[in-house]
Structure 1
Amino acid sequence: MEIVLSKILSKIHHQEDKLSSQMMQMVDEAYQMTLFLNEMLGTIKAKVIKDNFANEQQEIEFFKNIKPQVLGKLIYYNKVFRIETSCPVSNGEIHQSYYENLLKALKSEYKESICNEDFYRYYRAGRTDRDHTYFRLGQINYHDGLKSGVFEIDLSFSTYYDNKIAYIIANELLYTYMITKINPEINPDMIMINGDTNKDISWTNSQNALIELIYALYASNSIAYGKIGIRKLALIFQVLFQTPLNDIHHSFHRMKTRAGSRTAFLDQLKISLEEYMDKDL
């Protein structure tokens, strides 16, 4: 059995683009994406249970990188739907304070329930030494004093820690979403080109390529003399290209240890530019 991450992400992005092009309200878009992702997750689950994994590495890859992307977005869109259907007004101070309070609650949850955990530090550091324990079925150690949510998961389709990554991804996306709600100057709905939205401006390379570019600009102090933090810089690019970037910190740590060139996209940019220059000679 093989489930390819790039194909899964491509299907998700295609559905997001399809719904975005229909110019529907965010509450409707979130609802439709919730249905779409729930069905996708169900299909993947049936395939996993039926065919099983070819080897240990395939199992680890699925529960560490593939399933959390689908489940994370499902959690995200479901929360956005709940947020939007509970919003008391459509604008004004009450509207602003509503999202500010949600953001404070999200930050509080992060500090109390996520960032202090050993697993969170393991994941953020891009480590792999305990992957065989965290991302294989039947490896749960109840002596670790796990939270009661462990008893609510389907142990035939979860290692428990894949769910934790999914919530990290969902919270990253929610943080970006609420920031754009609180700061209308960087709200995607406010970015206009010739009276139209920027729906035709899309990032058509991989997410890793965009993350590589963002970090390069950040590290070189090329924007605002380096006074803009990496999170805000990533937010600007997400808004510009209308593409969520899932967990940029973890992706960056993986780049640091990947085989071959660690700056594959930047290397290709240089080659492409030089080839383009040569055409004019």
Structure 2
Amino acid sequence: MEIVLNKVLSEIQRQEDKLSSQMMQTANEAYQMTLFLKEMLFTIKMKVLQTGFKNEQQEIIFFKNIKPQILGKLIYYNKVFRIETTCPVSTGRIHQSYFENQLKILKSEYKESISNEDFYRYYRAGRTDRDHSYFRLGKINYHDGLKSNVFEIDLSFSTYYDNKVAHIIANELLYTFLLTKINPEKNPDAISINGDGNKDISWTNSQNALIELIYALYASKSIAYGKIGIRKLALIFQILFRTPLNDIHHSFHRMKTRAGSRTVFLDQLKISLEEYMDKDL
């Protein structure tokens, strides 16, 4: 199932790279990605409904890792399209105020609907002890006082909590997007490395590789003596390389339980550097 997840993420990344290489405007790119992800989600849904799952673990992996990645980006790109197409102007103070207001709305929604829930803390902690309840079909406990949108989802293709994970992923992507749209001089949260001169700078390895590098720099306190938080450090790299990362915390917890080496990318970096050094000998 891990292979399936990697394949899905690679296909999404290829589509994003394809649209970016065509120099499309953000609104058009978001619209095309929305259509692409909607079709991908529908195709996978049909396959799941037809074949089901081999065992409980496969079902949990699908609803915890695979579906939320697709749905999360679908929610994200749809929101980007709506935000871009309702922006009143393309530059100036009104433009900046518009995106600052969108960021305030996002933060408010995050506090009201996500961060104060027990499930959010469970997911952020990388726990697995309740996965059998959260990520299996037909396990919804209505005694938990769930929100009314539970009655609007397709229970043959959702555990309810996979939708929550998708919204966590979408909110993090949208947070990064909005910061890149706001004037850094007016917003201390934004990083001033997103100028036109950086348009050709892109990360060409996997997202997991970048996350591995970010955590290594954070753990070694190599940047600002370790005084900069992991979230802000990740934001710097996302803006620098113009590549939104998914839930970095959950990805890191998956790395901790990898079979074989847990530092695949760092191991390869060492090998590549040593081979490069040997060329000069």
Give the gaps of 5 or more residues in structure 1. Answer: none
- 1:73 and 1:240, CA in 2 relative to 1: closer, same or farther beyond 3 A? same
What's the CA shift for 1:187? Answer: 7.3
Equivalent residue, structure 1, for 2:72: 72
Unaligned runs of 5+ in 2: 186-190
Matching residue within 184, 195, 220 for 1:190 = 195
Comparing 233-242 and 210-219, the one that deviates more? 233-242
How far does residue 58 in structure 1 lie from its aligned partner after superposition? 0.9
Deviations 1:104-158 (A, max 9, x none): 1111111121111111111001111111111111111111111001000001100
Between Structure 1 and Structure 2, how many residues are aligned?
A: 276
Q: TM-score, normalised by structure 1?
A: 0.91
For 2:275 and 2:20, the matched residues in 1 are separated by: 35
Distance in 2 (alpha carbons) for counterparts of 1:86 and 1:257: 43
CA distance in structure 2 between the partners assigned to 1:238 and 1:206 by the alignment: 13
SS in 2 for 1:192: helix
Whether the 8 Å contact between 2:255 and 2:262 is mirrored in structure 1 is yes
Deviations along 1:45-69, one digit per CA (max 9) or x if unpaired, are 0111011111111111110000000
Letter in 2 for 1:29: E
Match of 2:24 in 1: 24
C-alpha separation in 1, matches of 2:157 and 2:196 = 41
The separation in 2 between residues aligned to 1:169 and 1:116, in whole angstroms, is: 16
Deviation at 1:242, TM superposition (A): 2.5
Structure 1 equivalent of residue 144 of structure 2: 144
How far is 1:168 from its partner? 0.2
C-alpha spacing 1:109/1:2, structure 2 compared with 1 (3 Å): closer
Q: Which amino acid aligns with 1:43?
A: T
DSSP-derived class of the 1:4 partner: helix
Change (3 A) 1:148 1:188: farther
Shift of 1:95: 1.2
Q: Which residue of 2 aligns with 1:86?
A: 86
Deviation at 1:189, TM superposition (A): 6.3
Q: Which residue of 1 aligns with 2:162?
A: 162
1:8 aligns with 2:13: no
3-state SS, counterpart of residue 228 of structure 1: coil
Q: Distance in 1 between matches of 2:21 and 2:192?
A: 17
The 1-side partners of 2:48 and 2:85 are apart by: 34
User: 1:119 matched to which residue of 2?
Assistant: 119
Distance (whole Å) between structure 2 residues aligned to residue 138 and residue 2 of structure 1: 23
* Residues 30, 188 of structure 1: alpha-carbon distance in 2 compared, 3 angstrom cutoff: farther
Question: TM-score, structure 2 length as denominator?
Answer: 0.91
SS at match of 1:12: helix
RMSD of the TM alignment (CA)?
2.0
- Counterpart of 2:178, as a letter, is M
Aligned to 1:110: 110
Q: Structure 2 CA distance, aligned partners of 1:2 and 1:229?
A: 29
Aligned to 2:206: 206
